[in-house]
Amino acid sequence: MLTVKGLQVHYQLRGGALSRVLGRTPPAVKAVDGIDLTLRRGEVLGLVGESGSGKTTLGRALLGLVPATGGSIRYQDQELVGLSEGRLRPLRRKLQMVFQDPHASLNPSMDIGTAVGDPLRVHDIGSSDEDRRRLVKQALETVGLAPAERYMSMYPSDLSGGQKQRAVIARAIVLEPDLLVADEPVSMLDMSVRAKILQLMIDLGERLDLTYVYITHDLATAKLFCDRVAIMYLGRIVEIGTSEEIFNNPRHPYTKALLRAIPTPGLIRDVPHDLPRGEVPDAVRPPVGCSFHPRCPAAFAPCGWEARDLRSTLEDRWARLDASAYKEESALFADLKDLDAPGRSVRIRPAAGRAGELLALLERMRSDAPDERLWRGITAVREDAGAVVVDFREQVDPVPLAVGTARVECHLFDPRFAPLSEEASR
């Protein structure tokens, strides 16, 4: 029903006054950065990932609610990217979104009948007020708000959270959409009603022939609800497959980490606790190569090691040292910002005349922790004209690979790197 190719959504940040004066291009957040996806009619596709992985942006881009900055979205033979608001409008009827917070999604001063009927007026559907009332009634009954007349005259404040979300769903289905993008539709609801709302969505899917994109950071509900699951990390799909495949046979180290973090029933945990160095990096300057490599427990030589990784390894080391040892080691650097430089070779300036000591420190780090994955990506550490130069291996961006029935973006599955990954796993 929907085919997405190379989709990009980069949010251009407004630069400060200085960058404007200097004529610098302000940085962009690469919220969605090269997504390929096919949605089949009637299926439920889950988009799963930590906060900031780009799920909401992708969901909104599919409906034309945020403009794509590159790539293509074809909906039934029509290209959506680049369509004017006027041309998108009639299509929006078929492409609807249900948001996370039912309390914020309904206007508190509008009764439920008016709120659910509003899209009919916007899209000029129904021959008369009476006809629209009939459609609203039907939608309310379909979502289990019956008798509909009673609910139509109520206000959002008269409803429980679950009932509000039912009303929001009624407002979406009153337009008879093809596709519903549901963004965390149950995460704000009481635990006791979550399963009921998901069940309602499953039933509606079957009855109304709906296709769903279900956005969540919660793999447990994705397992319950989805036919296929796409795991997102920093704007990319790192693994996609049937729910069965993803849950029984996860391949990508990130998927594995997320699965290990599925909480016991009754508990919701947002962030997988056992991921190393638990922060999702900045989407303005994502790590090069595989963007998961700094947190990956299986990363190896080609994954994209760079100076920033050396800096975090140093900082981890210093966090473990006592204050005087830390002071001694950090005093060897003229400026740690040298380690923020991009590129395959980084030049680190030592404090005056201390290049030899700085080189010795890096060699000591390596012998103290030879298993640190970073070293696999470093080809040389050398002194050069008063500075210490660290050379990194050429990084390779992961490409989508068919593994079993899944698609995985990870060098571990790339036959070109098999000898290196075997060496790394020894």
Ligand X SMILES: Nc1ncnc2c1ncn2[C@@H]1O[C@H](COP(=O)(O)OP(=O)(O)OP(=O)(O)O)[C@@H](O)[C@H]1O
317 is an interface residue for ligand X by CB under 6 A:
no
10 is an interface residue for ligand X by CB under 6 A:
no
7 is an interface residue for ligand X by CB under 6 A:
no
- Minimum distance, C-beta of residue 13 to ligand X, in the bound complex (Å): 6
- Minimum distance, C-beta of residue 336 to ligand X, in the bound complex (Å): 25
46 is an interface residue for ligand X by CB under 6 A:
no
49 is an interface residue for ligand X by CB under 6 A:
yes
- Give the burial class of 147: count Cβ atoms within 10 A of its Cβ; 0-12 exposed, 13-18 middle, 19 or more buried: exposed
Which residue in 365, 347, 273 sits closest to 307, CA to CA? 347
- Phi (first) and psi of residue 76, to 5 degrees: 45, 60
| Residue 74 amino acid letter | R
- Minimum distance, C-beta of residue 315 to ligand X, in the bound complex (Å): 22
243 is an interface residue for ligand X by CB under 6 A:
no
Which residue in 266, 262, 283, 282 sits closest to 274, CA to CA? 262
Count of chain residues binding ligand X (CB under 6 A): 13
Of 51 and 78, CB closest to ligand X? 51
- Minimum distance, C-beta of residue 397 to ligand X, in the bound complex (Å): 19
57 is an interface residue for ligand X by CB under 6 A:
yes
Of 47 and 355, CB closest to ligand X? 47
Among 5, 11, 103, 126, binds ligand X (CB under 6 A): 11
Return the number of other C-beta atoms located less than 10 Å from residue 98's C-beta: 23
DSSP letters for 313-366: HHHHHHHHS-HHHHHHHHTTBS-GGGGG--SSEEEEPBSTT-HHHHHHHHHHHH
286 is an interface residue for ligand X by CB under 6 A:
no
Among 33, 35, 54, 355, binds ligand X (CB under 6 A): 54
Q: What is the DSSP letter of 113?
A: H
Helix (H, G, I), strand (E, B) or coil at 111: coil
Among 139, 238, 283, 339, binds ligand X (CB under 6 A): 283
Which residue do the tokens 């916007």 mark?
Answer: 122
Interacting residues toward ligand X by CB under 6 A: 11, 29, 31, 49, 51-57, 217, 283
